[in-house]
């Protein structure tokens, strides 16, 4: 018996079961049969729970922009919203003994992963925080007299099924307070697994664990003894367990199971429940083309474009007319459309889950596809890369031979003959012409062609030659192929192992191909290479030598130059906060003279520049000029275009001009903008006239663009709008030369179930092809596909697909295998507003008990109540919002629904802090914020620093690093100068979310004082600058992960200071966020595994970094408001400073004095 639907988050009461399916809440008979829908909101819902009396349900659903707790009667009606937290972490977790809802959320925390538990009345009212600190779940035991036992589950990094067999520092732990006295201890600490979902069931504590390698249901007695396993699931994890106190219900693979008791011999049975629903989310619906807009490629004349949206391709004239479907097969993703000559188009698609190249007529008649499955590919031979200068054509760099050997999985036939290779023969570079379709006389006669790539592959670039004969293909594996569209053949040009080939271009005469080839991992350096694909004896010529990052190569229309962008400008700027230099704008455009006798367009010449610019770019026969390349000395003919260095990208060429995108230099976080409401500026499209040496802005803001084949039109995308403009002059919005392409002419019905199947298969292929090790860390990835793929047909919503992708990724047992869907919000609703303060309802109304102080250097850390004009103080009473009087029943949060970022009016009653004005009412205008996390974070840092100062008599410094990205780098530098100048330093990397700057942070905090700068009249400074003057302590915890793991491990290996706290997260296989599915959902592949010296090796992954001194942070410490790890760190630093005294500046003595002794008598007078 297999369910026909995907059922999640079950709960049971009496003879009824509730669960989530198709983004709604359902109830069904426990005995099985047809369920009925309780909600019909079609928004992601979670964790429905029957109330203890069984009459109502509570659950979370998206309200505005975040989940909130709502309730309704089981038999319909009575809908009510219970929380107004406005935070993505809000979840229902059960009930208190008194019947209030237990809700976990981080809406009042300085760390969004630290969800705390709250008691929320079922009849509405303010939430009350429970005294447990960060928790994932709370299970109250039976109260016997004064004993009120409770079990807590620690906060998880993600649920166990989404990272199977996880053993890092954040693995779920259970804590128990057996008698309710407030003191907690670990329950079953000897079980090394990921424990979660604790449940009290008739005197036993049930929980989920995967310590035996599979996710199953277990139970123990409250003292931790009597361990039992109640399920034996091996294919899929047991998930989301719930109980009514007697029975346990759970899900596995989208099916519901019931365990009648925790008796040793009890067996779980699957529930046979059907929805009998038409499922709105599964119904085919019109595609929102603009929302999923992908690539747009114009034709030769710039009058029409191929448009990609959600994996479908369409042909669309720019000004008017209908659209035409090029590819919209359900369950197939098509990408990279490229118009060809003769009314044809090329693109990549994954029919039958195999990526292949397709060439077809745009106005295609119904006909069979000619399949060319076994295009023969030559074996690339090693290339002599030791020669720093470009090499002449030789047997070592002929077409089809590469700098590294091809992957063994590519079917190849070695080239025959000696020397530079062989002509195109049946057993050499290409398939036999007799096996390929004949060259058609007209486009109408052309058959559609399919060319399958060697496996594995992932096409990253596709460019057609101007004459439509050739297609250059770049792959994410570093391959360059050339397809002959007339013969239907595919040839391997080169294969490298250092990254993706994403930039290809053809010469105007269609004879030469250029590409940018990475020479180091992560794309830090690349070189330009060219070849003649039509000449089997031609070789590969290095245009540049790979010392820099050379990108966006383009042949100029006259065939004389190769234009490109390069980061070879080295004009640094000084840092404004610390002693450092950087190269924020290192890119300039360059030209390479292809022929040795071609003069520079900017240098001395016997011909006037104007005459040269006016010369025709056509050959004698009216075609494009032939390109002549003199390989010798090519790299020395690089010419700098006389424009300032900048942040340039996407260079193109037009007649007598270069075009590129110019991105304004701005901060990474965006917090340096004029206001937080300011949008990030899109790049400008500029045109540079070579003859006039003049740069003008064609379009002020562009997301991306492409030139038409005749180079006369630019088609660009900005904010999902496609626009066509001339390439040679700027036009205004009213000009007839500006054409806004109406995408709503594209009409296609999208089958969501077929799209989910394609998305699943693509996500599986991406892991297969890009996971960091080919053996998939021991997993049988084909078996995973066979187990999971059938479930796709049962899904009821995109949210179900996301859940299934997470669980499939979890099979890797590796960090950073993420699924990142687009944020879901309620249509037409804004986010919850927050005032950056804490309020309590008292006798006078809603009194402000605390206003978060904020941080003047952090624009996201400012309370609306501290803005000029508000003049609010603790003790003031908030009487009304927007003129609506508040009460115990109508809370401020209720009145701030949808108010984030919008001006509201507050009516305040002045408290005692206003002196003589106390008791006066006044009205002020404020703008509520959407999120208080940064406000509370800066408040937490300030409190920690104050604790350190007070405990050390002002001698110790404190720095917190929240992540290893731009935000963390900014936070580190806010107080770097002040804190490193003290006698000792605590560097706190607890809660560090990772990133990529750990090597910079390690260098900074690991500096040692080796000298002093001693100016007169000023305080001495250390050399190097900001070197800690005394010993350093590192604080780490289970929430320090990824690059937070790395900074912790590096601190130990380099001896920067002892690590105090708990074992870190354990995730050091990094990602690059390169790929997204057709609907924009991001999927990451763990690609960059980290290995450490010092005997550590690979062991940080899925384990974490062990502290030098373990200091736990139990729940009762949070309840008491103490920080045992920080306190221990302060004490340890006091002890260290006795043995490693602080470096002090020297006294001004003992230095060489230059005053001479009195001049002696002349020798001759002696």
Report the pLDDT value the prediction gives residue 673, as an integer from 0 to 100: 84
Dist CA 906 CA 885 (whole Å): 10
Query: Within this chain, do residues 396 and 516 fall inside the same structural domain, yes or no?
Result: yes
Residues in the chain: 1166
Q: What is the pTM for the complete model shown?
A: 0.91
For 649, the token pair is: 């990208």
Q: Give the CATH number of the domain where residue 232 resides.
A: 2.120.10.60
Residue 969 pLDDT exceeds 90 = yes
Q: Which residues are marked as active site?
A: 816, 1042, 1101
Assess if residue 118 is contained within a domain.
no
Confidence of residue 426 (pLDDT cuts 50, 70, 90): very low
The pLDDT mean for the chain works out to 91
The pLDDT score that the predictor gives to residue 150 is 98
Chain center to CA of 942: 30
Confidence label for 364 from pLDDT (cuts 50, 70 and 90):
low
For the CA atoms of the chain, what is the radius of gyration? 34
Distance (Å, rounded) from C-alpha 596 to C-alpha 121? 83
Q: Residue 442 CB: number of other CB atoms within 10 A?
A: 8
Within this chain, do residues 643 and 656 fall inside the same structural domain, yes or no?
Answer: yes
**Mean pLDDT value of segment 1137-1148:** 92
Where residue 577 falls among pLDDT bands split at 50, 70, 90? very high
H or E stretch including 805?
Answer: helix 798-810
User: Within this chain, do residues 334 and 358 fall inside the same structural domain, yes or no?
Assistant: yes
Give me the DSSP letters along 698-735.
Answer: EES--SEEEE-TTS-EEEEEETTEEEEEESSS---TT-
CB atoms inside a 10 Å sphere around CB 643: 16
Pairing of strands 239-243, 648-654: unpaired
318 shares a domain with 205: no
Are residues 861 and 946 both part of a single domain? no
The predicted model gives 816-824 an average pLDDT of 95
**pLDDT above 90 (res 125):** no
Instruction: Tell whether 1078 is covered by a domain.
Output: no
For residue 300, being part of any structural domain is answered with yes
Number of CB atoms found within 10 A of residue 695's CB = 17
The answer to whether the CB of 28 falls within 8 A of the CB of 38 is no
The larger pLDDT score, comparing residue 394 to residue 1000, is at 1000
CA 247 → CA 86, 152, 224, 580, distances in Å?
Answer: 34, 20, 20, 64
**782-816 pLDDT per residue, tens:** 999 999 999 999 999 999 999 999 999 999 999 99
What is the per-residue pLDDT across 861-871, written as a single tens digit (0 to 9) for each?
999 999 999 99
Report how far residue 428's alpha carbon sits from residue 443's, in angstroms, rounded to the nearest whole number: 29
* Inter-CA distances, 827 with 838, 898, 900, 922, 931, Å: 29, 12, 15, 35, 20
What pLDDT does residue 147 have?
87
Residue 301 sits in the same domain as residue 339 = yes
Q: Are residues 901 and 1032 in the same domain?
A: no
Percent of the chain with pLDDT over 70: 91
What is the average per-residue pLDDT within 1133-1160? Answer: 92
Co-location of 942 and 1040 in the same domain = yes
Structure tokens at 591: 């030209």
**39 pLDDT above the threshold of 70:** yes
Cα–Cα–Cα angle for 35, 41, 9, nearest 5°? 50
Sheet with 356-361, strands from edge to edge, namely: 334-339, 344-349, 356-361, 448-452, 369-372
Q: Which domain holds residue 396?
A: 286-418+426-606+622-672+679-745
For residue 425, CA distances in Å to 347, 430, 489 come to: 27, 6, 12
The answer as to whether 857 is a domain residue is yes
Residue 872 lies in a domain: yes
Q: State the CATH number of the domain containing residue 1128.
A: 3.90.226.10
pLDDT at 372 over 60: no
pLDDT: which is higher, 407 or 837: 837
Asked whether the beta carbons of 768 and 123 are under 8 A apart, the reply is no
Q: At 446, is the pLDDT very low, low, confident or very high (cuts 50, 70, 90)?
A: low
Pair 222, 329 in one domain:
no
Together in a domain, 907 and 1009: no
C-alpha distances in Å from residue 30, one per residue of 13, 276, 669: 9, 16, 51
Tell me the C-alpha distance between 944 and 989, whole Å: 13
Burial of 254 (0-12, 13-18, 19+ CB in 10 A): buried
What residue has token string 């659950």?
Answer: 59
Q: How far apart are CA 824 and CA 1081, in angstroms?
A: 12
User: Where a domain ends, among 240, 257, 279?
Assistant: 279
Q: What is the pLDDT of residue 618?
A: 65
What is the rounded end-to-end Cα distance, in angstroms, of the chain? 122
pLDDT: which is higher, 411 or 362? 362
680 band by pLDDT with thresholds 50, 70 and 90: confident
- Whether 788 is covered by a domain: the verdict is no
Task: Point out which residues pair with 962 in neighbouring strands.
Answer: none
Higher pLDDT, 1160 or 561: 561
Q: Which has the higher per-residue pLDDT, 1049 or 434?
A: 1049
- CATH number, domain with residue 862: 2.30.42.10
Check whether residue 1026 and residue 1054 sit in a common domain: yes
pLDDT band at residue 608, thresholds of 50, 70 and 90? low
- Residue 676's pLDDT band, with cuts at 50, 70 and 90, is confident
**The tokens of 733 are what?**
């919005």
**pLDDT score recorded for residue 401:** 29
Q: Is the pLDDT of residue 189 over 80?
A: yes
Inside any domain, residue 373: yes
Give the separation between CA 21 and CA 44, rounded to whole angstroms: 9
Which of the four pLDDT bands, split at 50, 70 and 90, describes residue 421? very low
* pLDDT confidence of residue 235: 97
- Which pLDDT belongs to residue 145? 82
Q: Does residue 97 carry a pLDDT above 70?
A: yes
The CATH number linked to 660 is 2.130.10.10
Give how many domains the chain has, as a whole number: 4
Q: Rounded mean pLDDT of 433-460?
A: 67
Q: Is residue 820 part of a domain?
A: no
Q: Are residues 263 and 304 located together in one domain of the fold?
A: no
User: Band of the pLDDT at 535, cuts 50, 70, 90?
Assistant: confident
């Amino acid at each position: 018996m297999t369910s026909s639907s995907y059922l999640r988050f079950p709960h049971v009461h009496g003879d009824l079961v509730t669960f989530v399916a198709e983004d709604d809440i359902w109830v069904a008979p426990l005995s099985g049969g047809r369920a009925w829908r309780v909600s019909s909101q079609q928004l992601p819902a979670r964790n429905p729970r029957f109330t203890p009396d069984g009459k109502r349900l509570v659950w979370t659903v998206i309200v505005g922009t975040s989940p909130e707790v709502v309730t309704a009667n089981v038999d319909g009606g009575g809908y009510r919203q219970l929380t107004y937290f406005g935070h993505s972490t809000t979840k229902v977790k059960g009930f208190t003994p008194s019947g209030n809802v237990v809700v976990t959320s981080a809406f009042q925390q300085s760390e969004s992963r630290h969800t705390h538990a709250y008691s929320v009345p079922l009849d509405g009212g303010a939430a009350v925080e429970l005294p447990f600190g960060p928790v994932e779940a709370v299970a109250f035991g039976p109260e016997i007299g004064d004993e009120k036992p409770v079990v807590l589950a620690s906060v998880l990094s993600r649920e166990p099924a989404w990272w199977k067999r996880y053993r890092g520092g954040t693995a779920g732990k259970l804590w128990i307070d057996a008698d309710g006295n407030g003191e907690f201890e670990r329950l079953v600490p000897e079980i090394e697994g990921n424990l979660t979902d604790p449940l009290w069931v008739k005197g036993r504590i049930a929980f989920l664990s995967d310590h035996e390698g599979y996710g199953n249901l277990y139970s123990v007695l409250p003292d931790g003894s009597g361990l039992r396993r109640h399920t034996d699931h091996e294919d899929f994890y047991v998930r989301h367990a719930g109980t009514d106190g007697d029975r346990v219900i759970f899900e596995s693979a989208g099916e519901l199971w019931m365990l009648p008791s925790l008796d040793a011999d009890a067996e779980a049975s699957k529930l046979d429940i059907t929805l009998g629903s038409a499922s709105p989310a599964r119904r085919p619906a019109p595609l929102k083309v603009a929302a999923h807009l992908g690539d747009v490629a114009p034709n030769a004349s710039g009058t029409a474009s191929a448009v990609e949206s959600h994996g479908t391709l369409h042909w669309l004239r720019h000004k008017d007319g209908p659209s035409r479907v090029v590819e919209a097969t359900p369950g197939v993703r098509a990408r990279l459309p490229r118009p060809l000559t003769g009314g044809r188009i090329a693109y990549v698609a994954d029919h039958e889950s195999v990526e292949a190249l397709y060439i077809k007529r745009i106005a295609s008649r119904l006909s069979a596809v000619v399949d060319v499955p076994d295009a023969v590919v030559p074996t690339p031979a090693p290339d002599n890369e030791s020669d720093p200068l470009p090499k002449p054509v030789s047997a070592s760099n002929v077409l089809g031979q590469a700098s590294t050997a091809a992957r063994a999985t590519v079917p190849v036939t070695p080239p025959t003959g000696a020397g530079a290779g062989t002509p195109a023969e049946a057993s050499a570079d290409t398939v036999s012409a007799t096996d390929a379709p004949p060259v058609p006389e007209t486009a109408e006669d052309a058959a559609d062609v399919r060319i399958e790539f060697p496996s594995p592959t992932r096409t990253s670039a596709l460019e057609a030659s101007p004459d439509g004969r050739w297609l250059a293909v770049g792959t994410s594996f570093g391959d360059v192929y050339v397809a002959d569209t007339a013969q239907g053949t595919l040839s391997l040009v080169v294969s490298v192992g250092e990254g993706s080939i994403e930039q290809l271009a053809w010469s105007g005469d269609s004879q030469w191909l250029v590409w940018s080839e990475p020479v180091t991992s992560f794309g830090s350096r690349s070189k330009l290479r060219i070849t003649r694909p039509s000449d089997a004896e031609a070789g590969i010529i290095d245009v540049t030598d790979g010392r820099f990052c050379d990108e966006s190569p383009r042949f100029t229309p006259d065939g004389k130059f190769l234009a490109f962008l390069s980061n070879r400008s080295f004009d640094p700027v000084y840092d404004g906060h610390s002693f450092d230099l950087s190269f924020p704008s290192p890119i300039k455009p360059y030209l390479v003279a292809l022929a040795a006798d071609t003069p520079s367009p900017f240098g001395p010449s016997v011909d006037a520049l104007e005459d040269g610019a006016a010369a025709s770019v056509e050959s004698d026969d009216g075609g494009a000029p032939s390109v002549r390349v003199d390989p010798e000395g090519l790299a020395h003919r690089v010419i700098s275009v006389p424009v300032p260095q900048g942040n340039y990208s996407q260079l193109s060429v037009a007649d007598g001009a270069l075009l590129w995108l110019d991105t304004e230099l701005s901060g990474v976080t965006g917090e340096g903008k004029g206001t937080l409401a300011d949008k990030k500026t899109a790049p400008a499209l500029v045109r540079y006239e070579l003859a006039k040496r003049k740069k003008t802005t064609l379009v002020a803001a562009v997301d991306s663009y492409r030139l038409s084949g005749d180079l006369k039109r630019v088609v660009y995308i900005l904010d999902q709008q496609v626009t066509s403009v001339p390439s040679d002059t700027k036009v205004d919005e009213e000009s007839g030369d500006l054409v806004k392409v109406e995408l709503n002419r594209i009409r296609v019905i999208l089958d969501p179930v077929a799209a989910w199947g394609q998305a699943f298969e693509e996500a599986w292929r991406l892991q297969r092809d890009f996971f960091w090790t080919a053996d998939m860390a021991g997993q049988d990835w084909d078996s995973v596909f066979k187990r999971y793929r059938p479930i796709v047909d049962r899904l009821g919503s995109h949210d179900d697909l996301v859940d299934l992708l997470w669980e499939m990724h979890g099979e890797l047992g590796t960090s950073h295998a993420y699924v990142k869907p687009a944020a879901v919000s309620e249509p037409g609703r804004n986010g919850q507003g927050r005032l950056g303060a804490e309020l309590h309802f008292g006798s006078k109304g809603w009194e402000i008990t605390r206003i978060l102080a904020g941080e003047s250097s952090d624009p996201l850390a400012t309370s609306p109540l501290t803005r000029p004009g508000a003049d609010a103080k603790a003790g003031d009473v908030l009487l009304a919002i927007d003129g609506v009087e508040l009460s115990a029943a109508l809370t401020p949060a209720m009145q701030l629904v949808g108010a984030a970022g919008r001006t509201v009016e507050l009516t305040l009653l002045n408290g005692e802090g206003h002196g003589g004005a106390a008791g006066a009412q006044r009205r002020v205008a404020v703008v509520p914020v959407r999120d208080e996390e940064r406000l509370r974070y800066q408040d937490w840092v300030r409190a920690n620093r104050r604790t350190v100062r007070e405990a050390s008599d002002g001698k110790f410094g404190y720095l917190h690093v929240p992540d290893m990205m731009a935000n963390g780098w900014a936070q580190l530098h806010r107080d770097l100068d002040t804190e490193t100048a003290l006698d000792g330093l605590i560097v706190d990397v607890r809660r560090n979310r990772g990133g990529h700057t750990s090597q910079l942070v390690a260098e900074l905090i690991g500096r040692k004082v080796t000298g002093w700068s001693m100016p007169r009249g000023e305080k001495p400074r250390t050399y190097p600058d900001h070197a800690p003057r005394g010993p350093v302590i590192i604080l780490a915890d289970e929430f320090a992960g990824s690059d937070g793991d790395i900074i912790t491990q590096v601190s130990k290996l380099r001896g920067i200071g002892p690590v105090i706290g708990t074992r870190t997260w354990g995730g050091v296989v990094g990602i690059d966020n390169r790929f997204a599915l057709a609907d924009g959902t991001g999927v990451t592949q763990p690609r960059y595994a980290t290995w450490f010296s010092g005997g550590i090796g690979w062991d940080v992954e899925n384990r974490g970094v062990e502290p030098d001194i373990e200091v736990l942070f139990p729940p009762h410490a949070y309840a008491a408001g103490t920080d045992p790890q920080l306190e221990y760190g302060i004490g340890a630093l006091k002890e260290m400073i006795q043995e490693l005294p602080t470096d002090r500046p020297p006294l001004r003595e003992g230095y060489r004095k230059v005053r001479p002794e009195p001049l002696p008598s002349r020798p001759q007078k002696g």
